[in-house]
A and B are shown apart, each in its own frame.
Chain A
Amino acid sequence: MIYILTCLIFYGSLFFLDLLPLLRQKERRPYLRFALPVFAATLACNILIGLRAPSVSITTLLIALLSKIQK
């Protein structure tokens, strides 16, 4: 629960200080193509991590990939 709370505070501060000004500036709209999906996807990931959903670490995936390549 502390994890989710930390994420909400962190994401909330970034939303108000960075994302909201970006939404208001018309000339910087192209950046939203990257910022919005990343914001939403990482928030969803972090909530899932906070809820202890089963996940695989990045290192496990990379080790599996590199082992295949080395073979």
Chain B
Amino acid sequence: MEQKITGAQLTATITLFLTGSSLITGAYTSAGRDTWLCGLAAFALVLPMMAVHTAILKLYPGRDYYANITTACGKWGGKAVALYLFLCSTHLVALVLRDFCEFIHIVNMVETPVSVIAACFLGVAVYLLKKGAYVLTRVSRFVLPFLVFSVALTCVMAVKDMDFSNIKPVLRSSPKDLMDGTAMIFFLPLGEITTCAPLFKWTDPKQKIFPVFFRGGLGGLLILLAANLRNLFVLGDSLSAFLFSSYEAVSIVAVGEFFTRIEVLIGINLMLAGFIKCCVILYNACEAAGTVLNLGGTKRSQRERSPLVFPCVLLAFTAAMVIYSSSEERALWARYVPVSSALGQVLIPLGVLIAGKIRKRLSGGGPKAAPARPEPAPQQ
């Protein structure tokens, strides 16, 4: 019998997923000192999206996100949506992986090529994902306390280096910068919560969905706010000059001469949260690929998609290698994040929900009715 994913495990996974690579960059936006306010506003905006994903998962019995999409949008419509979400996931994992590898390459292992770091990292990801979603969430549950402890420790130890007046003047940014900052945090990382929805397939049917989304999102937001404010108090205006502001902020911290180089903790944070984030996105990519190709889904086993893991990993590896040609391009891409993410994170989920509700009403079977789902290809 396969073990069910508990609410606490999924909450930890969502929290780690949302902190992911943003913890290193400190989620700094064009709003400057008011970025923390943008974080709060973005969280308020992401709540309706959590409700939308909850409603999609509840559309039909089984909590199978991609099966629900296929049932709601029809066979070909569902496949088109799944294909788009697969491409989005591959792109997203390539972005996260490249950030992760660049960080290690720049900060710790200057002589080691990015490709070697990516290959080592993805090798472990393949192993974990082949073991199924339960192992992924159990690892997250184990890892989260370490992340919270390290962020709390760096915040406490940095107090003597903090200048709390750095937060002033509050709301000095222009409304446009505030809106840009809110949009940035909404789409990257909070809106990416879409990617966690397929994991609910393996939860207990009695487990409520929205509270798990909410607690996970809130946990992620609190950790990001703590990191953002710590960086702001320590670095002040120079925050915007650094690519990895958390690393720079914590590198200042030292207790006398016997407890130094605490910035290693930041590297460990990225190893933990970034790894979970990549694994969650890859899991989502496998689910989407399985839906598009009509593979798996018959046995309802957590390892049914395991043969899809390594092709998705290879796509992610190759995409990560050619995602940017220069760091200027990386900076330029930030301007296009809201435009590129709006479709996959907002419009498609809303469209799927509306299509599902209309289809349910037209089928006339009431709220509990489940239309027949297209059967996956028979296994030879």
Interface positions of A (Cβ within 8 A of B): 2-3, 6-7, 9-11, 13-14, 18-19, 22, 26-31, 33-35, 38-39, 42-43, 45-46, 49, 55-60, 62-63, 66, 69-70
- Interchain pairs with CB closer than 8 A, number: 106
B contact residues, range: 35 or more
| Residue pair A18, B123 in contact (C-beta under 8 Å) | no
Give the distance in Å from the alpha carbon of A62 to the alpha carbon of B94 in the complex.
Answer: 14
Nearest chain B CB to A1 CB, angstrom units: 11
Known: A3-B113, A57-B325, A58-B322. A42 touches B315 (CB 8 A): yes
| Residue pair A59, B329 in contact (C-beta under 8 Å) | yes
Give the distance in Å from the alpha carbon of A49 to the alpha carbon of B28 in the complex.
Answer: 33
Select from chain B the residue with minimum beta-carbon distance to A43: B314
| Residue pair A39, B311 in contact (C-beta under 8 Å) | yes
Nearest chain B CB to A30 CB, angstrom units: 6
Nearest chain B CB to A35 CB, angstrom units: 5
Give the distance in Å from the alpha carbon of A57 to the alpha carbon of B323 in the complex.
Answer: 5
| Residue pair A31, B307 in contact (C-beta under 8 Å) | yes
Give the distance in Å from the alpha carbon of A30 to the alpha carbon of B317 in the complex.
Answer: 23
Nearest chain B CB to A54 CB, angstrom units: 11
Nearest chain A CB to B66 CB, angstrom units: 15
Q: Pick from B182-190, B333-341, B351-359, B365-373 the stretch touching chain A.
A: B333-341
Within 8 A of A (CB), among B28-51: none
* A-chain residues with CB within 8 Å of residue B165 when the two chains form the complex: none
| Residue pair B314, A42 in contact (C-beta under 8 Å) | yes
Select from chain B the residue with minimum beta-carbon distance to A57: B325
| Residue pair A58, B336 in contact (C-beta under 8 Å) | no
* A-chain residues with CB within 8 Å of residue B380 when the two chains form the complex: 26-27, 29-30
Nearest chain B CB to A26 CB, angstrom units: 6
* A-chain residues with CB within 8 Å of residue B289 when the two chains form the complex: 34
Interface positions of B (Cβ within 8 A of A): 91, 94, 113, 115-116, 119, 122-123, 126, 130, 289, 293, 295, 307-311, 313-315, 317-319, 321-325, 329-330, 332-333, 336, 339-340, 377, 379-380
Q: List 15 A-B contacts (CB under 8 A).
A: A3-B113, A6-B113, A6-B119, A9-B119, A11-B314, A30-B295, A31-B295, A31-B308, A35-B307, A38-B314, A38-B315, A46-B317, A57-B324, A62-B91, A62-B336
Select from chain B the residue with minimum beta-carbon distance to A40: B314
* B-chain residues with CB within 8 Å of residue A7 when the two chains form the complex: 115, 119
Q: Identify which of A3, A9, A10, A13 gathers the most chain B CB atoms within 10 Å of its CB.
A: A10
| Residue pair B310, A60 in contact (C-beta under 8 Å) | no
Beyond contacts A27-B380, A58-B319: 12 other A-B pairs, Cβ-Cβ < 8 A, are: A10-B317, A18-B309, A27-B379, A31-B295, A34-B293, A38-B311, A45-B322, A59-B323, A62-B333, A63-B333, A69-B339, A70-B339
| Residue pair B318, A46 in contact (C-beta under 8 Å) | yes
Nearest chain B CB to A5 CB, angstrom units: 9
* B-chain residues with CB within 8 Å of residue A18 when the two chains form the complex: 126, 130, 307, 309-310
Give the distance in Å from the alpha carbon of A26 to the alpha carbon of B378 in the complex.
Answer: 12
Partner of A49, one of B94, B307, B321: B321
Give the distance in Å from the alpha carbon of A55 to the alpha carbon of B113 in the complex.
Answer: 19
Give the distance in Å from the alpha carbon of A52 to the alpha carbon of B130 in the complex.
Answer: 33
* A-chain residues with CB within 8 Å of residue B330 when the two chains form the complex: 59
The 7 closest A-B pairs by CB, nearest first: A38-B311, A31-B307, A57-B325, A10-B119, A18-B310, A42-B314, A42-B318
Select from chain B the residue with minimum beta-carbon distance to A67: B336
* B-chain residues with CB within 8 Å of residue A70 when the two chains form the complex: 339
Give the distance in Å from the alpha carbon of A2 to the alpha carbon of B116 in the complex.
Answer: 9
Partner of A14, one of B91, B126, B332, B339: B126
